[in-house]
A = this chain, B = another copy of it.
Amino acid sequence: MDNQLNNLLKTNYDIVFNQVELLEQAFTHSSYVNEHRNLHLEDNERLEFLGDAVLELIISRYLYTRFEKEPEGKLTKMRAAIVCEDSLSKFAKECSFDQFVMLGKGEENSNGRTRPALLCDLFEAFLGALYLDQGLEKVVCFLRQVVFPKIKAGVFSHEMDHKTALQEVLQKNGDVQIEYHLLKEDGPAHDRRFWIEVYAEGKLIGTGTGKSKKTAEQQAAAVALETYMREKR
């Protein structure tokens, strides 16, 4: 196995495999196995099968615990946004896993190394291998570095309502008091309008308007979130 991969895992994630053959298998694409039949290698597909379920449980537990007031439907949507090809392939790239996967020549020449489906499978296979080698909690540690910060930062929060998303973002480093105040309401009863201001620790961070307090609050939160994200960049 590429020594560089071992070093990267040790340096970045404090991971040292006991069964190095599991790590090798995780980084062996079926196209490589097919082109090297004499080596009797096993590809990473069975590990991917396992890793997929490992990831699903860890993300589910995380969401269940972190968003204790959210209904099941919202948790399911968030989970789907995290555990999907698009997200997982990005995680694989961020970990530089794409540099180490062993591909057949055909797959290499057709840019397999950048193909999201392949990278997604690679990421899951790695999780499966790590799980078999060192158990569930070690995989949790790895995801705590690679995935959880993104959930906290609201990367998947388009699946949440804006108020929850704002709360997530502002409270990621500890408790922050967020308050919504009705600034005013006007208009006739059948066409009422509400103005809401949202404050964080007493500081005005957004305003919104709508036909109900609820929609006005959502707009205020969306505005605050957008401002916050823009200023962070």
Q: A residues touching B (Cβ–Cβ < 8 Å)?
A: 45-46, 48-50, 52-54, 56-57, 59-61, 64, 70-73, 75-76, 79, 136
For this complex, 24 residue pairs linking A to B, each with C-beta atoms less than 8 Å apart, are: A45-B71, A45-B72, A45-B73, A46-B64, A46-B70, A46-B72, A46-B75, A48-B72, A49-B64, A49-B72, A49-B75, A49-B76, A50-B60, A52-B60, A53-B53, A53-B56, A53-B57, A53-B59, A53-B60, A53-B61, A54-B57, A56-B56, A57-B57, A136-B136
| Pairs of residues from A and B, 6 with the lowest C-beta to C-beta distance, nearest first | A45-B72, A53-B60, A53-B57, A57-B57, A49-B72, A53-B56
Contacts of A52 in B (CB 8 A): 60
**Closest partner residue, chain B, to A54 (CB atom):** B57
A64 is contacted by which of B50, B56, B64, B70 (Cβ under 8 Å)? B50
**Closest partner residue, chain B, to A51 (CB atom):** B60
Contacts of A50 in B (CB 8 A): 60-61, 64
Contacts of A46 in B (CB 8 A): 64, 70-72, 75
User: Copies per complex?
Assistant: 2
Contacts of A71 in B (CB 8 A): 45-46
Contacts of A79 in B (CB 8 A): 49
Within the complex, the shortest CB–CB distance from A33 to chain B, in Å, comes to 12
**Closest partner residue, chain B, to A128 (CB atom):** B64
Contacts of A60 in B (CB 8 A): 49-50, 52-54
A46, A52, A56, A136 — most chain B CB neighbours (10 Å): A46
Docked Cα-Cα span, A75 to B47, in Å, equals: 11
Within the complex, the shortest CB–CB distance from A156 to chain B, in Å, comes to 16
Contacts of A64 in B (CB 8 A): 46, 49-50
Contacts of A53 in B (CB 8 A): 53, 56-57, 59-61
Within the complex, the shortest CB–CB distance from A42 to chain B, in Å, comes to 10
Contacts of A48 in B (CB 8 A): 72
Within the complex, the shortest CB–CB distance from A224 to chain B, in Å, comes to 27
Within the complex, the shortest CB–CB distance from A86 to chain B, in Å, comes to 20
